[in-house]
Structure 1
Amino acid sequence: MNRPLIVIFAAICLDAVGIGLIFPILPRLLEEVTHSQNITPYIGIMTALYAVTQFVFAPALGALSDTLGRRPVLLISLGGAAINYVVMAFAPQLWMLFLGRAIAGLTSANVSVAMAYITDISPPDKRARRFGLFNAMFGAGFIIGPVLGGLLGDHWLRLPFIAAAVLNACNLLLALFILPESRTPTRRKIDLAALNPLRPLRWAFSMQGLAPIILVFFILGATGEAYGTCWALWGIDTFRWNGLWIGLSLGAFGVCQTLVQALLPGPATKLLGERWAVVAGIACACIALVAMAFANQGWMVFAIMPIFALAGIGAPAFQAFVTRQVDPASQGQLQGVLASAVSLASIVAPLAFSTVYFVVQKRWPGAIWLSVIVIYAIAVPLVFLSTRTARSTQPASP
């Protein structure tokens, strides 16, 4: 493997570690800054704010990297992230934390630039494997990050931010001294209309049969946001977990999910078919969520992890089904639409789930997971509708 790829993979892993460091300590940090016990709405706002800036600026950073080159955009975003985490480490006021999370979302949008860099330096026959390695490195970072963040946060609440700043500084040094430019910049004028993140959705809803598919992706993306928004709060309220145990639980889930994603989607799709693989994944998620809702001891959460992770077989199966619904020339446009749908879910869902958790927090914190089951239940008929519509619109076999 050539040196630029190693640098990109190392950078994305360190970036994911830096992001994951923050999750275990966020509830206690907000309590310290706001002097309030009801910090659930603040977590929802911070999570949504991060998603908004990522959603808005991902197309802009991609377009800038086409015009100015991949390397300068990566360097600026990595440097900005390092400075931002230092500021957040010592931020005494809530508005500074909000601003920091918004800037973190902006700088994390450089993932699209990293993907473009890999595309530039990879021949077509090697791209699938390298994108798989890219996702694996990102997943590994999210396994390490929460565990390390919980451990550091128990020593000093602001220490994970310092660690995130150091990791981003290492990223910056790697890119500065080792990473070459991957393409010749075009220097052409940027089309401002192309930066509109909602633009791809117009095309999608003009295509017959795509609306239910997009809604399924939106719902699956929304359910995923419940864990990032409420997991740490629920662990503290239900089991009195400290930062280390929150990090260990997130890390254990990451390990199980990575194994499932790497090994099972292909065999599950061959055995069940794409439609029933999605339904089976949703069913496994719902079984685990019921167990979590009624769990009263922390070991029960770790025991249910393997079943919970089996939910991961559904999304790849549905993704494979979706790729056959448009012609090859429109694949990139379709993937952009699906990414937009997931990004929109990342904006709306944290606000909704944090509101629900605020309502149920004192009487029954585990009830939040029953609300996720309700959202999953809406997805099931849409899965059947989208797959039935697709089959009926395909030409009959000779």
Structure 2
Amino acid sequence: MRWTRPSTLLATFLTLLNDRMGESIVFPLLPYLLAGFSNDGRVLGLLAGSYALAQFSFTPLIGALSDRYGRRPVICVCVAGSLVGLLLFAVTLALPWERLWPGAAAAGWPLALLFAARLIDGVSGGTAATAAAVLADISAPEQRAKAFGLIGVAFGLGFILGPALGGALATFGITVPLLLAALIAAVNLTMVILLLPETHPPEARSPLPRKRDLQPFAQLARVLANPQVRRLSAAFFLFFLAFNGFTAVLVLYFKQAYGWGPTTSALAFLVVGVVATLVQGGLIGPLVQRFGEWRLTLAGIGFVIVGFLLILLATAGNAQPQVFIALAILATGTGLVTPSLRSLVSRRLDEGGQGAALGSLQGLQSLTGFVGPPLAGLAYETVGQQSPFWFGTVLMVGVALLVAGGLPGQATPSPGATE
């Protein structure tokens, strides 16, 4: 490590942890937080997708600003923005609108403020990318893979702690988890100000790129135009389109179909976090060596389809055990597909194209976080409560065909190949 101060790693780790925990505390509780203003799946889908849209749109700019002005000021502004967004969300939910402003809910003001809060939080969502840049700054090239492992640890821990704490604190009041998320962001901001040095020296900084180079869709178009990875990139997009749509309406489905409260719903997301972390953190390496990325991707898609179908077949009498088993199977599948599919894309590219293509995959994933939830919410309200899960199953079959090469004009890989 070029910087040996433990405080640098501590502040960076807390920034990564705060980025994941802030979202994982709020997301499983959204239907309950919205209950006073709307129970419409379309509103829920748009609110869930607004965060992803803002993050997708502004992450390239935030990365460029950190290259131009340094990591520390950008992280400070982003964490402060996240704090403002969380506080605005909490205050909007806590205010007695009918007493302060009769008819405000009917006029849509509280919902508008909730959307504004999510957009502010999403725009500030570049903290993870900038914190990763800090790790690159302080690590020698041969140590970066080890340093980047900190990202996986923080994200896994955040996805486990967020739903667990959110569900437990929701019993004291539905806005209490939001106040905890805001408190964590405030502690994060304080530690960044006090402990994080600037790791990107002035002599290494670069000017801001042209505006068209900051346009996120330009990078996506380039990767989708590459014949080497076009089919796999399309599979990646469809996989997360289905997965993000499914997760956006899942808690609303639990609430309306089974009468589950916020604690049980948050516990369901905790199961997903624990299983996915175990698969990606400990099992994926040995499994890749044993079976290869291509087989694991197809097996993972199969697990996800089974998980969807088990949820669809659950009844009020067996909902809790069957749904929890289904989510564990689904999380196993996601934990297999995500790293394996990324690896398949990486293996098809030369070294010069790695960064742009893998960065574009992240952009595709963020884009599905905006497109998937509103589409799922629309289907939920207009077609039926179970329709997002059926549509997700159909999309997963399409993903399997794309990966397997089963579409017309695509050659099927040999059984022993990795793609």
TM-score (norm 1): 0.91
| 2:393 match | 373
CA separation in 2, counterparts of 1:171 and 1:214? 35
- Count how many residue pairs are aligned between Structure 1 and Structure 2: 386
1:264 is the counterpart of 2:264: no
What SS class does the counterpart of residue 21 from structure 1 fall into? helix
CA offset digits 1:131-177 (Å, max 9, x no partner): 12211211211111122112222322222221111110000011000
Which of 326, 333, 337 matches 2:356? 333
Instruction: Say whether the 8 Å CA contact 2:19–2:127 is kept in structure 1.
Output: no
Q: CA deviation at 1:360?
A: 5.0
C-alpha spacing 1:193/1:367, structure 2 compared with 1 (3 Å): closer
CA separation in 1, counterparts of 2:413 and 2:313? 40
CA separation in 2, counterparts of 1:391 and 1:351? 35
Query: Residues 343-354 of structure 1 correspond to what in structure 2 (within 5 A)?
Result: 343-354=366-377
C-alpha spacing 1:119/1:390, structure 2 compared with 1 (3 Å): farther
**Which stretch of the first structure deviates more once superposed, 156-165 or 253-262?**
156-165
Query: Residues 181-200 of structure 1 correspond to what in structure 2 (within 5 A)?
Result: 181-185=198-202, 186=205, 188-200=207-219
What SS class does the counterpart of residue 31 from structure 1 fall into? coil
| 2:65 match | 64
CA separation in 1, counterparts of 2:207 and 2:143? 29
CA separation in 2, counterparts of 1:389 and 1:6? 48
C-alpha spacing 1:389/1:176, structure 2 compared with 1 (3 Å): farther
| 1:157 match | 174
Q: Which amino acid aligns with 2:391?
A: S
Query: Residues 169-208 of structure 1 correspond to what in structure 2 (within 5 A)?
Result: 169-185=186-202, 186=205, 188-208=207-227
Q: Which amino acid aligns with 1:353?
A: A
CA offset digits 1:233-285 (Å, max 9, x no partner): 11112221111111111111110111111222233333333222111111111
C-alpha spacing 1:205/1:253, structure 2 compared with 1 (3 Å): closer
- Structure 2 runs not aligned, ≥5 long: 98-109, 415-419
CA separation in 2, counterparts of 1:368 and 1:203? 30
| 1:111 match | 128
CA separation in 1, counterparts of 2:177 and 2:27? 10
What SS class does the counterpart of residue 199 from structure 2 fall into? coil
CA separation in 1, counterparts of 2:71 and 2:412? 38
What SS class does the counterpart of residue 157 from structure 1 fall into? coil
Give the root-mean-square deviation of aligned CA atoms.
Answer: 2.1
| 1:148 match | 165
| 1:396 match | none
Query: What percentage of residue pairs aligned between the two structures are identical?
Result: 30
C-alpha spacing 1:294/1:119, structure 2 compared with 1 (3 Å): same
CA separation in 1, counterparts of 2:51 and 2:398? 26
Which of 203, 221, 246 matches 2:265? 246
CA separation in 1, counterparts of 2:320 and 2:222? 47
CA offset digits 1:80-123 (Å, max 9, x no partner): 21122111111151100001111111111221111111111111
Query: Residues 1-398 of structure 1 correspond to what in structure 2 (within 5 A)?
Result: 2-32=6-36, 34=37, 36=38, 38-91=39-92, 93-185=110-202, 186=205, 188-296=207-315, 297-311=319-333, 312-361=335-384, 365-385=385-405
Instruction: Say whether the 8 Å CA contact 1:20–1:142 is kept in structure 2.
Output: yes
Q: CA deviation at 1:215?
A: 0.3
CA separation in 2, counterparts of 1:206 and 1:28? 42
What SS class does the counterpart of residue 352 from structure 1 fall into? helix
Instruction: Say whether the 8 Å CA contact 1:30–1:39 is kept in structure 2.
Output: no
Q: CA deviation at 1:390?
A: 9.8
Q: CA deviation at 1:63?
A: 0.3
CA separation in 2, counterparts of 1:391 and 1:262? 28
**Which stretch of the first structure deviates more once superposed, 153-162 or 323-332?**
153-162
C-alpha spacing 1:390/1:105, structure 2 compared with 1 (3 Å): farther
Q: CA deviation at 1:224?
A: 2.2
| 2:107 match | none
Q: Which amino acid aligns with 1:373?
A: T
What SS class does the counterpart of residue 264 from structure 1 fall into? helix
TM-score (norm 2): 0.87
| 1:395 match | none
What SS class does the counterpart of residue 405 from structure 2 fall into? helix
Q: CA deviation at 1:45?
A: 0.6
- Structure 1 runs not aligned, ≥5 long: 393-398
Instruction: Say whether the 8 Å CA contact 1:286–1:373 is kept in structure 2.
Output: yes
CA separation in 1, counterparts of 2:175 and 2:332? 35
C-alpha spacing 1:318/1:41, structure 2 compared with 1 (3 Å): same
